């Protein structure tokens, strides 16, 4: 059974759209298989090292919250101890203000949701002036997400953020499916490599490249991001999808096509992380359908060094801290003393 808790008047404090809190049914699964380790002894959870190194970016732990699902953090401070998070990726910003796409912008789907927000935001100048003073005061890593219409816009925004206090890293959103040209840099390897290299040269901040799953070869795109000098690769952004009212013969989203997120895309995200981890040495940040501790551990084992929680923030805002409470014990159960010892330990089938 699925239950939707609509936010009514408070919807706008997250995405200025008709988003609802979603709760998804848990499918029937066979009993979980305990994590297997060659180490017979279990490490005390209190001695677990949760720190993560993503290139030049060091995080206190591997649990971040994803862009577009956590507002500008201020909206969530009453529910989440923000200082406990490994990092926050605020809503993506663009060079100029964007009104976003026409409604409907969000649709609930089985085990997920479709969104077509269209990067609604007030532009980089307003972000720096109105949001960064607060975001910069938080005791966690601040990864600013940027999206440009052109190569030069990405570079200009990266340059503009170079001297802004409180910015710890920049995530290049080269994979948004809901704006014209939003995925161009994430589907052409040469454009991706050139853009990442230019943005890295434009400032001193670590660079994360957020890639789209809507490509023939995710490995090829990861190799391009690595060649450009990305400190980390974020995988995945939403998968393209749509919803239809067959009685009216009309699409439900105002933009017709949107991005699918939530538990429905987790298998796709795991596959993408695994394939990319086999192709590159650059750290990977796993994104897509992550909602609980087991999800996090699966992504780590598949090859992700860190994760971002997205859609779950709408229907379970405290999921991140719940996961962090249990993470040390799970690492210990794996016979490891640090997150790094678990990353990429997936065994091949006999």
| Residue 310: CATH number of its domain | 3.20.20.70
Enter the pTM of the model.
Answer: 0.89
Does residue 115 lie in a domain region?
yes
Q: CA-CA distance, 219 to 196, in Å (whole number)? A: 16
User: So what's the pLDDT on residue 2?
Assistant: 38
Does residue 16 lie in a domain region?
no
What are the residues facing 107 on neighbouring strands? 114
Q: Domains in the chain: how many in total?
A: 1
The one catalytic residue among 6, 20, 176, 239: 176
Does residue 40 lie in a domain region?
no
Q: CA-CA distance, 72 to 131, in Å (whole number)? A: 7
Query: Tokens in use for 336?
Result: 């490891």
Does residue 20 lie in a domain region?
no
User: So what's the pLDDT on residue 183?
Assistant: 75
Does residue 41 lie in a domain region?
no
Q: CA-CA distance, 100 to 92, in Å (whole number)? A: 12
3-state secondary structure of 71: coil
Residue 68 CB burial class (10 angstroms; 0-12, 13-18, ≥19): buried
User: So what's the pLDDT on residue 21?
Assistant: 38
Does residue 214 lie in a domain region?
yes
Can you give the residue range of the structural domain that contains 171?
3-8+52-333
Tell me the longest C-alpha to C-alpha distance in the chain.
62
Q: CA-CA distance, 290 to 239, in Å (whole number)? A: 15
Does residue 157 lie in a domain region?
yes
Catalytic annotation present for 176: yes
Strand residues in the chain grouped as ranges (E): 3-6, 20-23, 52-54, 57-59, 63-65, 87-88, 106-109, 112-115, 141-146, 169-173, 207-210, 232-235, 239-242, 244-245, 250-251, 257-261, 284-287, 306-309
Does residue 26 lie in a domain region?
no
Q: What is the mean pLDDT of each run of 10 residues along the chain (350 residues)?
A: 36 40 41 49 77 98 98 97 98 97 96 96 98 98 97 97 97 82 85 97 97 96 98 97 98 97 98 98 98 98 98 98 98 97 94
Please check whether residue 180 is in contact with residue 148, taking contact to mean a CB–CB distance below 8 angstroms. no
């Amino acid at each position: 059974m699925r239950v939707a808790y609509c936010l009514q008047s408070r919807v706008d404090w997250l995405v200025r759209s008709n988003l609802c809190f979603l709760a998804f049914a848990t499918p029937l699964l066979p009993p979980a298989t305990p994590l297997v380790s060659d180490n017979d002894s279990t490490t005390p959870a209190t001695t677990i090292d949760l720190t993560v190194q993503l290139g030049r970016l060091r995080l206190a732990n591997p649990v971040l919250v994803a862009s577009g699902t956590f507002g500008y953090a201020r909206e969530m401070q009453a529910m989440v101890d923000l200082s406990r998070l490994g990092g926050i990726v605020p809503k993506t910003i663009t060079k100029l203000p964007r009104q976003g796409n026409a409604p409907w912008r969000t649709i609930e789907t089985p085990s997920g949701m479709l969104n077509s927000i269209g990067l609604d935001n007030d532009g980089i100048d307003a972000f720096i002036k109105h949001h960064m003073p607060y975001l910069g005061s938080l005791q966690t890593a601040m990864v600013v997400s940027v999206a440009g219409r052109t190569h030069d816009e990405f570079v200009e925004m990266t340059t503009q953020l170079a001297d802004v206090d409180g910015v710890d890293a920049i995530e290049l959103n080269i994979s948004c499916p809901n704006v014209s040209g939003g995925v161009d840099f994430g589907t052409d390897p040469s454009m991706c490599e050139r853009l990442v290299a230019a943005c890295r040269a434009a400032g001193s901040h670590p660079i994360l490249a957020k890639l789209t799953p809507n490509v023939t070869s995710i490995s090829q795109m990861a190799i391009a991001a690595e060649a450009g000098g990305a400190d980390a690769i974020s995988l995945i952004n939403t998968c393209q999808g749509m919803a239809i009212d067959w009685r009216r013969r009309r699409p439900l989203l105002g933009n017709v096509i949107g991005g699918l997120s939530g538990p429905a895309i987790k298998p796709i995200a795991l596959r993408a992380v695994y394939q990319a981890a086999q192709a590159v040495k650059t750290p990977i940040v796993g994104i897509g359908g992550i909602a609980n501790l087991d999800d996090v551990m699966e992504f780590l084992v598949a090859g992700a060094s860190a994760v971002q929680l997205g859609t779950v923030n709408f229907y379970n805002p405290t999921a991140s801290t719940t996961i962090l409470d249990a993470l040390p014990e799970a690492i210990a159960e794996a016979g490891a003393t640090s997150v790094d010892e678990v990353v990429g330990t997936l065994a091949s089938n006999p």
